[in-house]
Amino acid sequence: MLKIKSQPYNSVWICADTQEELNRTFMRFTEHYESPNPLFKDKIFTVGQLKAWYSETYGADTYDVDWSGFNIPSSVLKSFKDGLFDPLTSEEQNLLNLFKYRHDNFYIIGAQNNSVLRHELCHALYAYNKIYQTKVNLICDKFKKELLKTSKYILNKGYHKDVLNDELQAYITDNDDSFIIKHTPQNIITKFNKLYEEYK
C-alpha cells in the first residue's frame, strides 16, 4: 500500500510497504522520464520490454532492488492517465489514484526512509526554484572538466544526460557516496553545499 505526505518545494513523498513495491510502482514512470535508453525516454513501452532491456544491460532483472529512490515531475503522469501505457500495473494505477483530483504541476518523490528522502528533495528543489537551478547549472558548466569523472560515474548508474546537472547537485550535496567524495574536488563540493544551504 502506498502512503503519501506533503513535502517542501510543492512536492509529495510516496512510500510503500516494501522497497520492491516502491520500485515496481515507479519503474515505468521513471524510465519514461529519464531513461538512458532512447527506446524508453519519452516513449511508450511495456513492462516486459523494460525488464528484458534491464536484464540484458545489467545482467539480471533486478530493478525491484537496485534503486532506492525516485523523483519525477507530475507532468510524467499524463501519458499514463491518458491510457497510452495500457495495461497499467496495479502499482501504477495505485499511484495515479492518489492524484486523480490534482491537475497542477508538482513534484513526486519515492523513498522508503529519510536519508533517501533528503537526496530526492534536492531534485524537487532543483525543479521548484529556478534561481537555484540556474546557479547549479552555472557551477556545472564552469567546472565541467573538473566534474568529468563524477559525471561519468553518475551516467554509468543509469541516468540520461538531460538530468545530469540535477543528479550532480543531488549526489554531491547528499555527501554519502564514497566515490563522489573521493573524486569530486573539495572546492566544488563546498560550492554545491553552500548553495544548497542557501536555498533549501
Task: Express each pLDDT in 125-175 by its tens digit.
Answer: 999 999 999 999 999 999 999 999 999 999 999 999 999 999 999 999 987
Task: Express each pLDDT in 45-93 by its tens digit.
Answer: 999 999 999 999 999 999 999 999 999 999 999 999 999 999 999 999 9
Question: Look-up: residue for cell 513534484?
Answer: 107
Q: 53 near 39, Cβ under 8 Å?
A: yes
Q: What per-residue confidence (pLDDT) applies to 100?
A: 94
Strand order in the sheet with 11-15: 3-7, 11-15, 107-111, 69-73
Q: What per-residue confidence (pLDDT) applies to 175?
A: 78
Task: Express each pLDDT in 31-40 by its tens digit.
Answer: 999 999 999 9
Q: What per-residue confidence (pLDDT) applies to 113?
A: 93
Q: What per-residue confidence (pLDDT) applies to 14?
A: 98
Q: 120 near 71, Cβ under 8 Å?
A: yes
Q: What per-residue confidence (pLDDT) applies to 176?
A: 83
Buried b (16+ CB within 10 A) or exposed e, 86-112: eebeebbebbeeebeeeeeebbbbbbb
Task: Express each pLDDT in 84-121 by its tens digit.
Answer: 999 999 999 999 999 999 999 999 999 999 989 999 99
The C-alpha cell at 176 is 554519502
Cα–Cα distance between 105 and 64 in angstroms, integer? 28
Q: Which amino acid is located at 64 in the chain?
A: D
The sign of the dihedral angle between the CA atoms of 140, 134, 70, 8 is positive
What is the mean predicted confidence (pLDDT) over 16-24? 98
Q: Is-cis flag, bond preceding 87, omega within 30?
A: yes
Cα–Cα distance between 195 and 6 in angstroms, integer? 24
pTM of the model: 0.93
Q: Kindly give, in sequence order, each residue whose CB lies less than 8 Å from that of residue 16, ignoring residues fewer than 6 positions away.
A: 1, 2, 3, 22, 25, 110, 112
